[in-house]
Amino acid sequence: MTTTVAPVRLAVIPGDGVGPEVVAATVPVLQRAAEGTGLDLQVTELDWGGERFLREGAAMPADAADVVRAHDAVLFGAVGRPDVPDDELVWGLIIGLRQQLDLAVNVRPVHAFPGVPTRVVDTDGVDLVIVRENTEGEYVGAGGLAHAGTGHDIGIEVAVHSRRVIERAARHAFELAGRRSGRLSLVTKSNAMRHGYPLWDRVVREVAEQHPDVELEVVLVDAMAARLVQSPRSLDVLLAGNLFGDILSDLAAVLAGGMGMAPSANVLPGGDVPGIYEPVHGSAPDIAGRGVANPVACLLSGALLLEDLGHTVAATGIRQAVSAALLDPTHHTPDLGGSATTTDLAAAVLDRMEI
């Protein structure tokens, strides 16, 4: 009997700085996972980013969103380089793509692998996911300056929270929590903010009624900051708006060993749009070109990508190989206190692939 699994059309955007280094470490691991599970992985590499901007005056083609839509998912490294304005790369490329594709939710798992030093007390067994709303809140750019230049300047930043956007983020978080431990913590600040966050509380409680399998708690962001440090094992899926999600996910990344360990997914829940999977870190110009970037954030982003496309065995195979490689400190890169290179760690992961 032969079964036919649809091929996965993967677009890869290595980008700038350490982006190409961690992506080059990841693609062979994805290919091995695909081979091991009978998956036809078709990789198209796109040269979008800073070099292309310097060469052609545009970081990506005008029809970039259509190019992406012709694929099932995107693996993205990082963009940003000192000689190109951030407007072109960070805003123009990655944030532009997220907006054009309406990738409304940012998913950031935090998993403390055994053997990885974290500089934080007792992170053994930490395994949580932050679901961050990615389009609204405090980051919409609404507001203005009053009395500018008078010495009494007033900056007004207006946060926007809409039911439609809260609902779609909430649905995604409940579905995720249902597949995990069945616990969801909504993070708001409704004791001090009177409109937006109370709306979040109300809408998320309504969505909770359709998910009786998930236990919902509502936690104030200040209390959550303390809890993430004090008892992170009590947490499973966190749902937060744009600002709180941004802050808490950097905090949570530290629990797993820092930026080099933090994967993410940008997705449109329920939408037929390819997700963009990327390490949380940027192009890290301070270490770029030295071959010492930690590839784990990118490898785990690749695992997330395969998992979201339904290829759980391949995803689990990658995670187990990463976990096994990290048990041996000789494979740790400098950010983890070791002296291994990007390719050393990636080779150790490939060696440990059991699928």
Contacts of ligand ATP in 15-34 (CB under 6 A)? 18, 22
Angle at 283 between CA 66 and CA 244, to 5 degrees: 80
- Name the segment binding ligand ATP (CB under 6 A); options: 48-56, 203-211, 243-251, 280-288: 280-288
* Residue with smaller CB distance to ligand ATP, 52 or 311: 52
Q: Extract the tokens encoding 321.
A: 């190989």
Asked if 92 interacts with ligand ATP (CB under 6 A), we say no
Distance CA 323, CA 331 (A): 11
Closest contact distance (angstroms) between CB of 285 and Mg ion is: 11
Closest contact distance (angstroms) between CB of 76 and ligand ATP is: 12
Find out whether 120 and 255 touch, Cβ atoms under 8 Å: yes
Contacts of ligand ATP in 282-301 (CB under 6 A)? 282-284, 286-287, 293-294, 297
Q: Which does 283 bind (CB under 5 to 8 A by kind): ligand ATP, Mg ion, none?
A: ligand ATP
Please, which residues have CB within 8 angstroms of residue 3's CB and are 6 or more apart in sequence?
none
Asked if 260 interacts with ligand ATP (CB under 6 A), we say yes
Q: Which of 92, 137, 274, 282 binds Mg ion (CB under 5 A)?
A: 282
Distance CA 130, CA 235 (A): 10
Angle at 245 between CA 318 and CA 286, to 5 degrees: 65
Q: Is 311 left (phi over 0), alpha (psi -120 to 50) or beta?
A: beta
Q: Which does 297 bind (CB under 5 to 8 A by kind): Mg ion, ligand ATP, none?
A: ligand ATP
Asked if 338 interacts with ligand ATP (CB under 6 A), we say no
User: Catalytic residue numbers?
Assistant: 139, 189, 222, 246, 250
Distance CA 62, CA 120 (A): 45
Please state, as a whole number, how many other Cβ atoms lie within 10 Å of the Cβ of residue 286: 8
Q: Extract the tokens encoding 38.
A: 């009978």
Please, which residues have CB within 8 angstroms of residue 253's CB and are 6 or more apart in sequence?
108, 110, 259, 261, 262, 280
* Residue with smaller CB distance to ligand ATP, 187 or 297: 297
Residues that bind ligand ATP (CB under 6 A): 18, 22, 78, 80, 259-260, 281-284, 286-287, 293-294, 297, 335
